[in-house]
Amino acid sequence: MKTSLKIKTFLIIVFVVIFAVIVARHFIGLHFKKKFSVRPAPGVIVATVEISNFYKSIETFGTAIAQNSKTYRVKKDDIIGNLNLENRFVRKDDIIVALKNDQNIIADFQGKIGTREIAQGVLGSNSLIITLDDLKKIVIDIKVPENYVNVLKKGLKAEISNSAFNKTFNGKIESVSSRVDPSTRSILARVIVDNSKFEIIPGQLMTVKVIYDEVEQLGVPESSITIQGDTAFVYVVNDQKVEKKNVKIGKRNFGKVSILSGVAEGDLVVSEGISKVRDKGKVKIIKPKNN
C-alpha cells in the first residue's frame, strides 16, 4: 500500500508540474505576443490641402530696351564746364549739358544719362554722343513659336529674370504681331516690364516666361499623390488615422498637383512616409526637420 501511494503521489506531482509549466508557458506567450505584436504608429509628415495657383507657360528670351531713348551729339569744345553724366538722372526740361551760345541740351523726358564713345575718324575725335534712357519701364521683344498663336494675347502676365539678379521682375504682354514670320515660323510679341527701381539696363539678355491658362485650384505636394494604373489617391489624416481617398488630378506646377475632386480645402494629407501607412491605420504626425 505504501508503495502504490508513493507512486500515486509522484504521478500527481508530475501532472501538477506539467500542468503548471503548460499554464505558465501559455501566459508568458500571451504577454510577449501582446508586447511585440502591437507596433508603434509610423511617423508621417502631412500637408494641408489649399488653394494654389496653377498655369502653363512659354519660356523664351529677349533683349532689354529702354521704353524711350534719345541721343544727343555734341562737340567737346562747345561744352561749358565739366561733364557730369555718370549715373545721373534728369527730369523733363532739365539741362543735360550747358553749351556755348546758350545752345543747351535739354532733356525731352525724365530718364538716366549716359555717354557713348565714337570711334576715331567718325565725326572727328572732338565729338561726343550723350544718351538719355527712360528706364521706369523696359521693353522686351520676344519671338514665340507659331503653335502658340491661339494662346498669345495682350495682357498676359510675364515673369522676367536674369542671372545677374536674385529676383523675378513682373511684366505683361503689351502687343502681339498680326503676322507669323515665315522664315522662323514664329510670332513677335512685346513685353513691358516694371523697372521702377532702375535695376535692368538696356542691352541685357532677359529670360521671359509668359503665363497662360492660369487658374486657382486645390493643390497638394506631388509626393502626396500615389498613382496605380488609372487611379490616383491620397491618404487623408483625421484623428491620427489615415483614410485612402481616390482623387482626380489636373495641372502640375512647382512640385504641386491640382486636385479636381476627392478632398476638401483644409484636409491634411500624408506628404512623406506614404510607404509606411495603411488604409484605416494609425499614424503619428511629425514636423519636418527644417521647421
Q: Is residue 5 part of a domain?
A: no
Q: Is residue 31 part of a domain?
A: no
Continuous H helices in the chain:
2-37
Of 87, 128, 127, 129, nearest to 111 by C-alpha is 87
Cβ atoms 66, 134 nearer than 8 A: yes
User: How far is 83 from 99, CA to CA, in rounded Å?
Assistant: 11
Report the number of distinct structural domains present in the chain.
3
pLDDT of residue 239: 87
Reported as a single tens digit per residue, the pLDDT across 142-171 is 999 999 999 999 999 999 999 999 999 999
Q: Which grid cell is 107?
A: 532733356
**What's phi and psi for 173, nearest 5 deg?**
-70, 120
pLDDT bucket at 279, cuts 50 / 70 / 90: confident
Could you tell me the CATH number of the domain that includes residue 51? 2.40.420.20
pLDDT of residue 186: 95
Compute the Cα dihedral for 133, 134, 135, 139 and give only its sign: negative
Reported as a single tens digit per residue, the pLDDT across 170-183 is 999 999 999 999 99
pLDDT of residue 91: 87
Q: Is the pTM of this model over 0.75?
A: no
Calculate mean pLDDT across residues 72-78.
Answer: 80
Q: Which grid cell is 141?
A: 521683344
> How many angstroms separate the first and last alpha carbons of the chain?
84
Q: Is residue 242 part of a domain?
A: yes
The residue segments making up the domain with residue 221 are 43-55+216-285
Calculate mean pLDDT across residues 185-210.
Answer: 94
162 and 228, same domain (yes or no): no
User: How far is 42 from 282, CA to CA, in rounded Å?
Assistant: 8
